Amino acid sequence: MANVAVIGAQWGDEGKGKVVDWLASRAEIVVRFQGGHNAGHTLVVGGNTYKLSLLPSGIVRGKLGIIGNGVVLDPDALLGEIEKLRAQGLEVGPHNLRIAENAPLILPLHPALDRAREAARGEDKIGTTGRGIGPAYEDKVGRRAIRLCDLAEPETVSAKLDELLLHHNALLRGLGAPVFEKAALFEALMALAPRLLPYAEPVWERLDAARREGRRVLFEGAQAVMLDVDHGTYPYVTSSNTVAGNAAAGSGVGPDAIGLVLGIAKAYTTRVGSGPFPTELHDATGRLLGERGREFGTVTGRPRRCGWFDAAMVRQAVKIGGVQGLVLTKLDVLDGLPELKICTGYRVNGEVLRRLPFAMRAQAAAEPIYEAMEGWSGSTRGARSYAELPAQAVKYIRRIEELVEAPVMMLSTSPERDDTIALRDPFAG
Ligand code: IMP
């Protein structure tokens, strides 16, 4: 089966939405396998702009969307997003959206704890989206989580709420934050049950059937490898595994079902939230990238930090994430810059490394080693073939391929879906 998985190869916001949308038009099923409504995908389809956080992007293209068990599901966020799409003329229901019944739920106490903890961290805050993602994953691993299927069993919800509140109210009290009452939470969940349960099913069965029928499945990653809870710039990461390997565990398929793994990378680098960012630019060039690239978070509206392309980091993401081909986005943002820099490694406490170290202090101390390249004067915006690109832009792409040790399989040259250069159909196997 020729499936495709798409993951971010930097710190998120690489323009996955557009690429996933482009690929979704060639797929039959689109699966989210990790993260939650901390993700933000902007899709521009036929002049309409859709902003999705939790729903698989393929829904906009009339495809079947599946939310896997690896996702943490905020019921209010889900229903709100469905409502918003409905208002834009797009009907979402159990006919085009299925949710793993074993997906853990985000409850109101999760964002409350997320925010209270961030406030308590002060200067050392992670810079989370405040959506309760971390606390919800903690409850999943702590074996306390209320899962979608539990909503059919009021007794289970009641018993789990007792356990959850014992844990959370102690923490909230300790942090000086308001505590939660069981009755209100229970009633809210029971009211949500009839609205959510029609979407619930063991999605692994559907995916198994899809596999036997040879259907094309697209696994849509959220966040990115450098935000992976194991492999990213810990602790400044999200709370899930963002690598392609998690597409299997996060949806209930075997590793051989994942297929081709595409890593999305911007032609430069951005990051939201705190944490190390060796190639960050605090100068006019950094501001220019931010303005031209419209670098504001889809979810939180926060301005993104901007910097040069970090090939050492993307190489690491390629290796760890299992990336077989890169999709390079937003090349046009670099149009007209006289000189470009690419980071090829780091100087860390006197040592030269080709990878970002894991230890916190070493990570913070990593100084980029740059290679300079001449920029190009022409425009790359809207190009639909390599022949339309300035020679120097092609040189930049080729150098990136060499340094990250992966081929560039697709190039996105504007927010419009069709302004895409694909060297081959990723679903062709
Ligand atoms: P959390 O996922 O809300 O816990 O946030 C943890 C870190 O991941 C923070 O630095 C966030 O800014 C970052 N993050 C979470 N989701 C995204 C995303 O979709 N794009 C970029 N960064 C994200």
Choosing from 37, 41, 168, 231, which is the catalytic residue?
41
pTM above 0.85, yes or no: yes
* Cα 292 to ligand 1 centre (Å): 22
Is residue 69 within 6 Å of ligand 1 at its C-beta? no
**Exposure string for 5-23, b = 16+ CB within 10 A, e = fewer:** bbbbbbbbbbbbbbbbbbb
Most informative mutation of 223, 233, 241, 304 for ligand 1 (most atoms within 8 A of CB): 223
Given a cut of 70, is residue 1 above it in pLDDT? no
Query: Tens digit of pLDDT for each residue in 281-300?
Result: 999 999 999 999 999 877 77
pLDDT at position 298 is 73
Q: For residue 240, give the ligand 1 atom closest to its CA.
A: 2
Query: Tens digit of pLDDT for each residue in 113-159?
Result: 999 999 999 999 999 999 999 999 999 999 999 999 999 999 999 99
**Residue ranges of domains in the chain, CATH in brackets:** 4-100+200-257 (3.40.440.10), 109-196 (1.10.300.10), 265-428 (3.90.170.10)
* Cα 39 to ligand 1 centre (Å): 7
Which residue in 127, 126, 114 sits closest to 175, CA to CA? 114
Cα separation, 79 vs 209, whole angstroms = 27
Give the length of the chain.
429
Distance of CA 336 to the CA centre of its chain: 30
Contact status, residue 133 vs residue 106, Cβ threshold 8 Å: yes
Pairing of strands 64-67, 97-100: parallel
Omega before 276 cis (within 30°)?
no
